[in-house]
């Protein structure tokens, strides 16, 4: 009986060790990386840049300190981060790219780095997945357009929301891309009006 009991104890110990080993060898979950939905572009594939189009300088887009590589959720006044959902670049870089595509590729402004031309400053204040009261993507972009001679031409915060259909992070990324594209388009409208740009 003692031998049989010892064998059972040994078998049980081996089974426990094997089970523990199986748990230990499972690889850790890997982060998943996303880019926002595609930029809005012209149907013909590009602008016709005119020699008399307004010159424009776009400075580097800044962002709220919490907007880094991890995707952000917001519930009321609470902000949190998805542990394994990451952006391929920072939201500020996405905003920079979307704005430049809208202003220079879609609108046809002439790009300049000179401080004597009208200058656009942008600050990304939100790039969030709202969890309540409705599931939405929120982009808030504060923009200031100044002219060295005329002073401030535009000073406003553009806020765009887009619905998110499910908890699939791809849908979250797509909705945030759509909201960012719409915000960039509103910036383009405001800059065109302020600088007297002719219609496309």
Strands 136-147 and 151-163: antiparallel
Domain that holds residue 151: 32-195
Does 5 map to a domain? no
Residue 102: give its domain's CATH number: 3.40.50.10610
Does 6 map to a domain? no
Name 154's Cβ contacts closer than 8 Å, sequence gap at least 6: 143, 144, 145, 190, 191, 194
Instruction: Write the pLDDT tens digit of every residue in 150-176.
Output: 999 999 999 999 999 999 999 999 999
25-43 average pLDDT score: 77
Does 3 map to a domain? no
Which position has the higher pLDDT, 151 or 15?
151
Does 8 map to a domain? no
Does 7 map to a domain? no
Does 56 map to a domain? yes
For residues 182 and 159, is the Cβ–Cβ distance under 8 A? no
Instruction: Write the pLDDT tens digit of every residue in 111-142.
Output: 999 999 999 999 999 999 999 999 999 999 99
For residues 89 and 51, is the Cβ–Cβ distance under 8 A? no
8-33 average pLDDT score: 64
Distance CA 73, CA 176 (A): 12
Which position has the higher pLDDT, 51 or 109?
109
Does 25 map to a domain? no
- Tokens standing for residue 184: 């960039």
Count of domains observed in the chain? 1
- Looking at the predicted structure, is the pLDDT value of residue 22 above 90? no
């Amino acid at each position: 009986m003692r031998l049989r009991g010892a064998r059972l104890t040994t078998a049980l110990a081996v089974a426990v060790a094997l089970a523990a080993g199986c748990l230990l060898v499972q690889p850790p979950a890997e982060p998943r990386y996303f880019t926002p939905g595609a930029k809005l572009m012209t149907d013909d594939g590009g602008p016709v840049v005119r020699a008399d189009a307004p010159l424009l300088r776009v400075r580097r887009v800044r962002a709220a300190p919490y907007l880094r590589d991890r995707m952000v959720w917001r519930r009321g006044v609470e902000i949190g981060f998805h542990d394994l959902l990451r952006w391929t670049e920072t939201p500020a870089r996405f905003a920079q790219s979307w704005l430049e595509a809208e202003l220079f590729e879609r609108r046809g402004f002439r790009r300049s780095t000179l401080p004597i031309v009208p200058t656009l400053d942008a600050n990304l204040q939100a790039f969030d997945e709202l969890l309540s009261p409705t599931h939405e993507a929120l982009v808030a972009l504060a923009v200031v357009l100044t002219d060295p001679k005329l002073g401030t031409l535009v000073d406003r915060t553009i806020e765009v929301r887009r619905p998110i259909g499910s908890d699939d992070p791809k849908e979250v990324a797509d909705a945030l891309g759509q909201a960012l594209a719409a915000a960039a388009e509103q910036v383009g409208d405001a800059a065109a009006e302020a600088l007297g740009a002719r219609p496309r």
